[in-house]
């Protein structure tokens, strides 16, 4: 098991954001967390990657307890988090942003190989190599954020709302790239408001409602679940 999250409880001050969240991700999978705005999806990811400390519960990555590990240490262990809103550095070029993603690595030749791999996955970034990141379109910035996330050579890539604000055509492209990254050996944990697309590409899915897991199972089964279809896939529930 690559990632095991047990009974996470997270508070913001007096407000409880997560209520005993448990889930797991096996090696080679795409696992998605779906849910409405404010359900606790981003909080879950930020807790997994060490940006937030839980009050209770534990996070195990490749069999190691990382609940209290610093976020930068978790990156060196093979986890990379592409945050909601992209968080690229607008005044740096595409190449400079990518090289920042490799800050934990020392071997220059391997870093160059990773840059070439990113350009293979995202050819548009190669065309924009010297362009300042802030001048690119939203879709290109998302590609850069994902490319930067891959530069640490993660075994687990965490993606928070990769399709947010993108046109339907670009959403298709981004999800195609997610599948390709996964086929090439990277395990993916995906948080996504576009539940339809997320369930299309994922192996398994968890539904998060008000800080707790309410449903889980194979993505194909959840796609057929009447509750999921009504709440997240825009269908009217039958009486």
SS3 92: coil
SS3 45: helix
How much is the pLDDT for 218? 97
User: What is the signed CA dihedral for 51, 189, 154, 87, rounded to 10 degrees?
Assistant: -50
How much is the pLDDT for 2? 96
Q: Residues with Cβ < 8 Å from 91, sequence gap 6 or more? A: 132, 133, 134
Q: What's this model's pTM, rounded to 2 decimal places?
A: 0.91
Positions of the chain with pLDDT under 70: 235-239
Q: Max CA-CA distance within the chain?
A: 61
Yes or no: domain 1-78+154-239 corresponds to CATH 3.40.50.300: yes
Give yes or no for a contact between 17 and 11, defined as CB atoms under 8 angstroms apart. Answer: yes
How much is the pLDDT for 235? 58
How much is the pLDDT for 239? 37
110 alpha-carbon distance from chain centroid: 24
Sequence spans of domains, the chain: 1-78+154-239, 90-152
How much is the pLDDT for 78? 94
CB neighbourhood size of 114 (10 A): 21
| DSSP codes joined into one string, 109-158 | HHHHHHHHHHHHH-HHHHHTTTSBGGGS-HHHHHHHHHHHHHTT--SEEE
Question: What's the Cα-to-Cα distance from 194 to each of 10, 95, 188, rounded to whole Å?
Answer: 25, 30, 16
The span from the first CA to the last CA of the chain, in angstroms, equals 40
């Amino acid at each position: 098991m690559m990632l095991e999250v047990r009974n996470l409880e997270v508070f913001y001050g007096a407000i409880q954001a997560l209520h005993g969240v448990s889930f797991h991700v096996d090696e080679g999978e795409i696992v998605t967390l779906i849910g409405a705005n404010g359900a606790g999806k981003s909080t879950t990811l930020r807790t997994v990657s060490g940006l937030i400390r839980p009050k209770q519960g534990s996070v195990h990555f490749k069999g190691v307890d990382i609940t209290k590990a610093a976020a930068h240490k978790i990156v060196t262990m093979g986890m990379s988090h592409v945050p909601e809103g992209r968080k690229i550095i607008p005044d740096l070029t595409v190449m400079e942003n990518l090289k920042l993603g490799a800050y934990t690595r020392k071997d220059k030749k391997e870093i160059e190989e990773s840059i070439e791999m990113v350009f293979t996955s995202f050819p548009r970034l190669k065309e924009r190599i010297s362009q300042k990141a802030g001048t690119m379109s939203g879709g290109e910035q998302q590609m850069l954020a994902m490319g930067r996330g891959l530069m640490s050579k993660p075994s687990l890539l965490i993606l928070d709302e990769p399709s947010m604000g993108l046109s339907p055509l670009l959403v298709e492209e981004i999800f195609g790239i997610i599948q390709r990254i996964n086929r090439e050996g990277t395990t993916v944990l995906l948080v996504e408001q576009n539940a339809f697309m997320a369930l299309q590409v994922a192996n398994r899915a968890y539904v998060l409602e008000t800080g707790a897991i309410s449903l889980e199972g194979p993505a194909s089964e959840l796609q057929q679940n009447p509750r999921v279809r009504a709440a997240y896939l825009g269908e009217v529930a039958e009486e």
